[in-house]
Structure 1
């Protein structure tokens, strides 16, 4: 009662018998929107199981969406282990937790912060070792991203010598390099299979120029790039006269090669993968997100030593298999393009699990010219909420498109 009186004394309004799963139906709350909704230690009462408490969270989050402002957030205090996230210590088995990330995703919300519960703030509260989950609202949208690339120059080649530590070679004009080194950057598009680090569209930087003894300059250029990017795990491998730049987990992200006939040296870099490597991005799709939480991080021009902190914590992944019969005119590239369309770029990996072609002598399949394919699709999003319901809906939509668009027989 003391806390109620304190709230009223500072202009607060206290309402009783409000159903947290039907906030928009409360007469006193109709037409009102809030910056923050707080639910401390939700529980169905008595010895209710985790299933009932999950439903309580789900319906609470769905109810909150109707009374939240566009940039509003929801704070939920849970006992340690109930959330079912890696932040819980100890972490319960997923099936034995309240699955706060999954329940919030059903309402289009993402988990963006986890912090210890401050037992000193609530007046009269006795701490029993709880933790707090902070869930903020997410948006489902995909757009174009921008990145800033700074200038730099290495002294490489005959006739030039790098000054020692603390010294610099200053160039008086770019005109002297106009006919030596050229560069262009822009968007490129490729029809590539869906995999975690194979973007179909990305920003590419291409440098080329004339160098004396071009093939001998490649190792020097490679070492220069390696010195710059070794702290981020970059390695160089030689294959068929070219040097490839690679790093884990994205694989190859650049190539250097030479043409001794024309004395041309070329460098090609995937800037999206390079930015993901340098700033520790969990997914290249973040570079295309218009979410202000992502863009504001780079408006401050952070140094590479300041890695990006994801605004969507512990996003769930959903795995579904799909099987179908395809004829001899089957094109796998069209299948991957249709997966991107149906899933709205939320499928991060497609793996061929199995194929089967009927035996002409022993099999009774009506069309022995067809082959059965089984693929495994992994759905996950680092940019917006992806619930089990939404992932299943998009997977079902894909099955329909395979039948109507590609005329495949889905099994």
Structure 2
């Protein structure tokens, strides 16, 4: 490993630099800097003694270094520091919180020019200054230095925070501004560790291409699903938590029933394929994402990497005639070759659309669990537990009607036992799960919902979360002498509960640090690398068009698309009707927050402005 390079800024009497340098091995180099010039320290014997110790160790010392202009202090070949330390920054004298926020903001923007790609910025602040929940007591946001928001201006996220201990660096004596004798109060101080965030750039919808027969077609990724198509989380090389959960689930049920894993086609469906859901009272197709296919005769070899993806599995779906049969037309097969260019194609809202094809296949084996696993997509309101894209595993088993009760009970018992065991693996020693997994029989008389009460999430989460369902469908499309059981599991929600991942968006992160938590395959509590991201609140109101109406689900979908999932809450505030014109206005409150990127107030304001334009165009409302 290359020697670590440490940069210390804002040193007062250089006691921290001297103490730290004596705890490091020879492979680590330290550059200690201060804003003052040598003449400013002439009357400080402690500072000169520390400087002598530093020089004896060969430590580089620089004077007159402005921590807000670090690029000016170091040549290109002398940058790339692994760590930058700034202990107890302060503008001096009686500067208020606004001035000190400005200092932090400029410091972080300066750090990005001299910090290594995977480097860290350490900032020690006195008790309560940071404005994060780690502060005890927690100050009001407007009265804090808002360190996480200031760091975001430089593209940094808070990845760790822990008590600042002077004992860890013996000999360190904190000094005030310009080495004043009066030191800062370090009792209860915290050290904040910041790392680089992935940039927001490059999140435009991708173009996918597929070949049907001898013709090529292309389609654009829906804006609300940017970065969520064709991620391969369930594929063999993946160490993603949804795959780990899926493999454990299959291994457990495979101990009791023979398993047959089926290849899951790419989730594009022609019009009519989702109608099978309505026979099981699934009102999902109305919330599906519809895709426009366009004939594309361009040479696929000449397309730039990262902008297109050829869908081999898409061919599988369109070659299976059973999946293209429209159940609403007396089962008559129709030639779909002419419909390839039509726009009525959607992303599947559930794996249940494939049940009929699986059961009617010649290779279907009664008594065997047939397994499909793949991503599904649904428009949904913006809530903590709802997600527009997730991974579903579907178990399909058929057996003689006389064996139904025994087989069903055996399946439920093993599934419940496995889930109970899984959900207790990350609990702290001595604690208990507040509620075990429950199978709740639904009023339709055909379905159980699989409910779990989250034990490690915040109050915004529902009391009970539905992680799956067990369905015994009617025999309309089934064999007369057999009955069937369908078990559907939301792998994403299950993974979140098991590892304690409170934000579903984290499962789709492109940051390599996320997957590092799961490389070993062990189940341990998830430790986020982005702590206490700030929230930004904006209100939006608009006049409705009486003739067009208003679809609130579509409003949530547009907000999700425009913000790239930065909106985490949409709260209805009020409805106003003008006394003269009788025109109706609605007002909503939007809360913006990211889970793995640095988000600034300026970025949020830009998104809010864009959202106003988009809802006017797409929803036919008039922003106020």
TM-score (norm 2): 0.58
Alignment-derived partner of residue 83 in structure 2: 36
Asked if structure 1 preserves the Cα contact closer than 8 Å seen for 2:259 and 2:370, the reply is no
Alignment-derived partner of residue 121 in structure 2: 74
The structure-2 alpha-carbon separation of the partners of 1:30 and 1:399, relative to structure 1 and needing over 3 Å to count, comes to farther
CA distance in 2, matches of 1:24, 1:104: 17
In structure 2, which of residues 594, 597, 602 is the aligned counterpart of residue 389 of structure 1?
A: 602
Alignment-derived partner of residue 382 in structure 2: 194
CA distance in 2, matches of 1:271, 1:219: 22
Q: Deviations over 1:221-272 (max 9, x none)?
A: 3343332333635333221221111233362221101136441000111111
- Pair 1:244-2:459 in alignment: no
Alignment-derived partner of residue 339 in structure 1: 559
CA distance in 2, matches of 1:55, 1:401: 33
**Once structures 1 and 2 are overlaid, which stretch shifts more, 62-71 or 254-263?**
254-263
- Pair 1:364-2:569 in alignment: no
Alignment-derived partner of residue 199 in structure 2: 140
**Once structures 1 and 2 are overlaid, which stretch shifts more, 401-410 or 67-76?**
401-410
Alignment-derived partner of residue 163 in structure 1: none
Alignment-derived partner of residue 105 in structure 1: 152
1:276 deviates by: 0.7
**Unpaired segments of 5 or more residues in structure 2?**
1-47, 175-185, 204-226, 234-239, 262-362, 424-434, 455-460, 476-481
Q: Which structure 2 residues correspond to residues 11-410 of structure 1 after superposition, within 5 A? A: 11-26=58-73, 32-122=79-169, 124-126=171-173, 128-129=186-187, 130-140=189-199, 143=227, 144=231, 145=233, 146=240, 147-148=243-244, 149-150=247-248, 151-154=250-253, 178-179=365-366, 180-213=368-401, 214=404, 217-230=407-420, 232=423, 233=435, 234-239=437-442, 240-241=444-445, 242-247=447-452, 248=454, 249=461, 251-259=465-473, 261=475, 262-303=482-523, 306-327=524-545, 328-329=547-548, 330-357=550-577, 363-365=579-581, 368=582, 371-410=584-623
**Once structures 1 and 2 are overlaid, which stretch shifts more, 398-407 or 376-385?**
398-407
**Unpaired segments of 5 or more residues in structure 1?**
156-167
The number of aligned residues is 389
- Pair 1:3-2:50 in alignment: yes
TM-score (norm 1): 0.85
1:209 deviates by: 0.8
**Once structures 1 and 2 are overlaid, which stretch shifts more, 184-193 or 96-105?**
96-105
CA distance in 2, matches of 1:298, 1:309: 11
1:29 deviates by: 6.7
CA distance in 2, matches of 1:294, 1:34: 24
The structure-2 alpha-carbon separation of the partners of 1:279 and 1:177, relative to structure 1 and needing over 3 Å to count, comes to farther
The structure-2 alpha-carbon separation of the partners of 1:24 and 1:404, relative to structure 1 and needing over 3 Å to count, comes to farther
Asked if structure 2 preserves the Cα contact closer than 8 Å seen for 1:202 and 1:271, the reply is yes
CA distance in 2, matches of 1:281, 1:172: 29
Runs of 4+ in 1 over 6 A off after TM superposition: 168-174
1:27 deviates by: 5.8
CA distance in 2, matches of 1:394, 1:312: 21
Q: Which structure exhibits the higher relative contact order, with contacts defined as CA atoms closer than 8 Å and separated by 6 or more residues?
A: 1
